[in-house]
Structure 1
Amino acid sequence: MSELPLRTALVTGANSGLGLASALELARGGLRVVGTVRSADKARKVEAAAADAGVPVETRILDVTDAAGCKDVVEDVRPDVLVNNAGGTCYAPVADVMEEEARHHVETAVFAPIRLARLAIPHMQDRGWGRIVQVSSVAGKVTYPLMGWYQAGKHAMEALSDALRLEVAGSGIHVAVVAPGGFRSGITEEMADVAHRYRGSKYATAFRRLDLGFTLVEPFWTDVQRVAEVVAHAATAEQPHGRYVVGRDAHASLLVSRFVENFRVGVELRDKAVRRLIGLP
């Protein structure tokens, strides 16, 4: 009986948080894992974490907005599994984000993961097997104020991923979206910084209340390891689902959103309630 081939997973944004947890979880599952990071210092952190976990994880230096760099890494690694995790948040009123910053965010959140998928697909097609895992968020389906550009990236990435899943299914390639709610990964510290930055502005109350809200609900968020386990399952299951929603808060948000959209005056009532709750001007 022949042995199964060793699968190779490429995980972007692997230096911390969910990216690092996913890389380690995939390595524990017996895959060869290559994590991308943006600096040698971050690569050393990944190597140290892998050593502590007792698993091997290779690293490659990559800024996912660098098209040529993406091509070089994919040609070098030739992944069976691609986990598009790299990205960032964008907490700001839509009109406060200048076009250059918005373009960079969309490049990171939308063009980069689809570019990497496009580059990896031919290698997967040659083998007749592949897994593309797109790390999204409940914000890929639900919209809140003061996170518009972040949500725009996730909405667009999910729409493209849904189309891609249908287009490549006949090649033995599965595309899965993992959409967690809140999980513990330093996000509260980032929101605190944003609230401080907007102090004295007309949005000061809204950001202060969001910061307080994040702090209050963080104990109820999903542990990052749980999300990483879902990512690993989506990357290795024989028949993965097209979408995984992770966390009670994510399921609740989607349920409320669907109810509001099906209720004739639901959107107007929701808007008034949200504005009053967080103190928008």
Structure 2
Amino acid sequence: MLGSRALFRGITAAWRGGAALQVSSSFATGPRQGDSTFYEFRTYTVKPDKMKDFLELTSKNIHLRTAHSPMVGYWTLEFGGMNKAFHIWKYDNFAQRAAVRAALAKDQEWQGKYMSQMLPLLDKQDNEIAYLVPWCELGSPPKDGVYELVTFQMKPGGPAVWGQSFKAAISAHIKTGYTKLIGVFHTEYGLLNRVHVLWWNENPDSRAAGRHYAHEDPRVVAAVRESVQLLESQRNFLLLPTGFSPLK
């Protein structure tokens, strides 16, 4: 058996030689992402009296940012948080993200027209890296509407522990037909064992009526009862798409 130092030297040599290192383990369980595509979730907390200025500035200049990489959606929070902007960006891999960030830092027009004017409007920035779960594809809305982001903090252990029961609960809600699933995302960087579920609804009232109906559906009740045994906390946000958001 190789000693730890010899093993480390072998790994280092493989990387330096450009070899694609494949690591597998008999302990790995459950489905995993089939490709390297991931999503960055960004939340900006804007100064309370600066939201109007922030949105106008962003609307005017966001094309400078999307020239570098694709935006999935851009929203403001209506319920669940105040003075916040939430946006999702798609990357093929971490190398692409690093290249995009480097290009943005050198983009004088982006830095001058947007970043230098936007940063003084903020109180706080947060980001997470997440993957779509293997059983979900990114959806699109049938028409303009509102969005609900539900964040679940699950018990430690990952999808091998809670993945199947969580999938069953989501599927039960989908089958009621009152809402449309846009995506289910599992965090890679940020709080671990966190799942974000993004839903589309026609308007807040249709969402409220649909939730009331779902809570009386025995299939939903049974699936949720099973899933919540592995749940630590849950929070939801009502999101309003901006005029420049690809997801409306």
Query: What TM-score do the two structures reach when normalised by structure 2?
Result: 0.24
> Which fold has the larger relative contact order, with Cα–Cα distance below 8 Å and residues 6 or more apart in sequence?
2
**Rg larger in 1 or in 2?**
2
Q: Structure 1 length normalisation: TM-score?
A: 0.22
Higher helix share: 1
